[in-house]
Amino acid sequence: MARAFLREPDGFVALLDDGERLILSGLMQQTRVLLSPEIEATGDAFDDLVASMGVSLDLADQGTGSADSTGSSGDDEPADTGHRDPALDRLLPTAHRGDDEVAAEFRRLTEEGLRQRKSSNLDLAIGRIEAADEDRVVLDAAQAPAFLIALTDVRLLLGERMGMRTEEDAEALHAAMETIDDDDPLGYAMAWYDFLTWLQETLAHALMDERDGDGEGTDEDV
Amino acid sequence: MPTASLSLAPVEEEVTSLDEVVAPDVPWVTIVWNDPVNLMTYVTWVFETYFAYPRSKAEKLMMDVHVRGRAVVSHGPRESMERDAEALQGYGLWATFEKDE
């Protein structure tokens, strides 16, 4: 049974058992696949900077993501061009309502960088889950925000898949839980969604409490 | 959410941020829209973390998003608003930018 994130001497710590870690890291990996950048981070700061601006240094890279028809390995994104998973519009939403050109330009300039940042948060979070020792998932001060943001993206994806787009949708889904069959996949998804909500809430609170503590000290710099 | 401990925090940053937000001659804004997924605590944390807004202001903006469906979270030149929208989307918030009417 899971225990919430708490501030402990060695960091922000949650207790998650094998099954919980397996599901959580599986959901993070699915989110990671959806968000995978066209160009993965190379470790070279300059190349990554250029890539994050949406420019590929290697012409051969361009279009391979959609033209590659050899690797039909199952649940990856459909390979046809023009298809955009609706969940992506939730994770990388239109940034200008009312001017499609401005929105498209913004997306062209920012999407690759956002995908890289979100992916690296998810990679870090998956790594921390895999590094758990005796069920303890431990995050230091730098890892905790990345983990918190990764949880957001997983919940956004799960929420979108369940059709949770408005407050009314969320209420309807929670109401449906009262009568749903135990083996209904929607009920299963909703239970994990609520679990992630709880986990994220406890980590957000732990971070806020930590900040309150800092605020009373003398070294409050941002 | 307890706010009592806030009284000990320095107040000067609030003054600066308020000036920024009410400045009449900056024509672009960043808006955060309500969504059913993002948690109130998390949204407050993001406003504090990214904008360095004090708790009281971060919570007020969060409540505006939650209750009114949207809130203007920053004003400024277009480039800054694009940067803010991008950063907030990085946090998973539903952020847009537009010319202030």
Read off the pLDDT band of A103 (50, 70, 90). very high
**Ranges A169-173, A211-215, A218-222, most confident:** A169-173
With beta carbons less than 8 A apart as the criterion, state whether A169 and B36 touch. yes
Q: Do residues B79 and B38 make contact, with C-beta atoms less than 8 angstroms apart? A: no
Of B36, B41, B97, the CB nearest to A208: B41
Listed by start position, the domains of chain A span 3-38+85-211
Looking at residue B6, its pLDDT comes to 42
Q: Given this model, what pLDDT does residue A69 score?
A: 40
Query: Quick check: A201 and B41 CB within 8 A?
Result: yes
Q: Which residue has the tokens 């946090």?
A: B91
Q: How many CB atoms lie within 10 A of CB A45?
A: 9
A194 contact B CB<8A: no
What are the tens digits of pLDDT across the range A135-160?
999 999 999 999 999 999 999 999 99
SS3 category, B75: strand
Mean pLDDT of the region A15-35: 95
> Is B52 in Cβ contact with A222 (below 8 Å)?
yes
**Given an 8 Å threshold on Cβ–Cβ distance, is B92 in contact with A156?**
yes
Calculate how close chain B gets to A52, using CA atoms only, in Å: 12
Average pLDDT estimate for A64-85: 48
- Nearest Cα to Cα of residue A114 among A144, A84, A85, A92: A92
Quote the ipTM score.
0.79
In tens digits, chain B (101 residues) has pLDDT values of 434 444 444 444 444 454 455 555 669 999 999 999 999 999 999 999 999 999 999 999 999 999 999 999 999 999 999 999 999 999 999 999 999 97
Instruction: Answer whether A145 sits within 8 Å of B49, measured CB to CB.
Output: yes
Mean pLDDT of A100-111: 94
Assigned CATH topology for domain B24-99: Ribosomal Protein L30; Chain: A, (3.30.1390)
- Single pTM value for the model: 0.78
Position A161 pLDDT exceeds 50: yes
Measured CA to CA, the distance from residue A133 to residue A128 in angstroms comes to 10
- The predicted pLDDT at position B101 comes to 79
Other CB atoms within 10 Å distance of the CB of residue A217: 8
In sequence order, what DSSP letters do the residues of A52-94 get, joined into one string? HTT--S-GGGTTHHHH--S---SSSPP--TT---HHHHHHS--
For an interface test with A, the pick among B33, B47, B62, B89 (most A C-beta atoms closer than 10 Å) comes out as: B89
Angstroms from A222 CA to nearest CA on chain B? 7
Structure confidence at residue A188 as a pLDDT band (50, 70, 90): confident
CB proximity list for B75: less than 8 A, separation 6 or greater:
B20, B21, B23, B26, B28, B29, B30, B81, B100
Please answer yes or no on whether A165 and B52 come within 8 Å at the CB atom: no
Q: What mean pLDDT is reported for chain A? A: 83
pLDDT-derived band of residue A50, with 50, 70 and 90 as boundaries? low
Neighbours of A26 (CB within 10 A): 13
Whole-number pLDDT of residue A68: 40
Name the more confident of A65 and A123.
A123
Evaluate if residue A214 carries a pLDDT over 90.
no
* Of the candidate ranges A26-30, A67-71, B28-32, B59-63, the one whose mean pLDDT is the lowest: A67-71
Classify residue B39 as exposed, middle or buried by CB count within 10 Å of its CB (0-12, 13-18, 19+).
middle
The closest CB to that of B5, out of A96, A152, A212, belongs to A212
pLDDT at A76: 44
C-alpha separations of B8 from A108, A129, B17, B49 in Å: 44, 37, 18, 19
Residue A67 confidence (pLDDT): 39
With a cut of 90, say whether residue A95 has pLDDT above it: yes
Closest residue by Cα to residue A222 from A210, A211, A207, A209: A211
pLDDT score, position A73:
42
Rounded Cα gap, residues B99 and B83, in angstroms: 14
Alpha carbons A214 and A206: distance in angstroms, whole number:
13
Q: Kindly calculate the radius of gyration of chain B based on its CA atoms and give it in whole angstroms.
A: 13
